[in-house]
Structure 1
Amino acid sequence: MSYFVYMLSNPARTVLYIGMTNNLERRLYEHSKGLGDAGKFTGRYQCNLLVYFETSPDAGHAIAREKQIKNWSRTKKEWLIETLNPTWEPIDLRTWKG
C-alpha cells in the first residue's frame, strides 16, 4: 500500500494545507465536500486545489514527512511545490503525468 503526503491551496494561493493519506482520491473528495476535521479547515479557507503530492511506501515515513514539511517556512514549502508543479496549476490525478 502506498501513502501520500500532499499540499492543497486556495485559488489565490495564499493558504497551504499539508496532509497525509493512504487514498489520495478519496481524501481530495472529502476535502472538496468539507468532511472530517481537515474539511473544516480546507472548507473555511477554500483550500481544495491539489498543488503537490509525493508517495511513501509506509505510513511511518509519510507521517514523519508530513510533520517535517509542516515545520518548514512558507518559502521552503513553495520551493517544494515548484519542484513538481512550477506553475502551481491544480493537479488532476486522472490526467497527471508528473
Structure 2
Amino acid sequence: MTFSVYVLYSPSHNKIYIGYTSDLEKRLLSHNQLATKGYTLRYRPWILIHKEVFNTKFEAMKREKELKSGKGR
C-alpha cells in the first residue's frame, strides 16, 4: 500500500487544501461530491494540483506537515 500527499485548489474561492490518503481517487470524490460536512465542503469544486507518493504512512504524514508549515509553503 502506498500513501499520497495531495494539494487541492478551489479556483472559485482561491483556497488551497493539503492532505494525505491511501486512496486518492476515493478521497477526491469525497472532497468534491460525497462529503456532507467539513472544511472542504464549502469551497467546492476542488482541482488536484499536486501529489506525491510515499511507501509509508509516516513519510506521508511527515511531508503533509512540512507542506502545511511555513517552510513547505
Do the two structures share a fold, i.e. TM-score over 0.5?
A: yes
Task: State, as a whole percentage, how many aligned pairs show the same letter.
Answer: 33
Gaps of 5+ in 1: 78-98
The answer to whether the 8 A contact 2:32-2:46 is kept is yes
Gaps of 5+ in 2: none
Q: Aligned pair count?
A: 73
CA RMSD of aligned residues (A): 2.0
Give distance in 1, aligned partners of 2:13 and 2:52.
19
Greater fraction strand: 2
Greater fraction helix: 1
Which of 40, 51, 54 is 1:53 aligned to? Answer: 51
For 1:20, the aligned partner's letter is Y
| Aligned match of 1:70 | 68
TM-score by length of 2: 0.85
The structural deviation recorded for 1:35 is: 1.4
- C-alpha change, 1:13 and 1:50, in structure 2 (3 Å) is farther
The structural deviation recorded for 1:64 is: 0.6
Give distance in 2, aligned partners of 1:47 and 1:26.
15
The structural deviation recorded for 1:49 is: 0.8
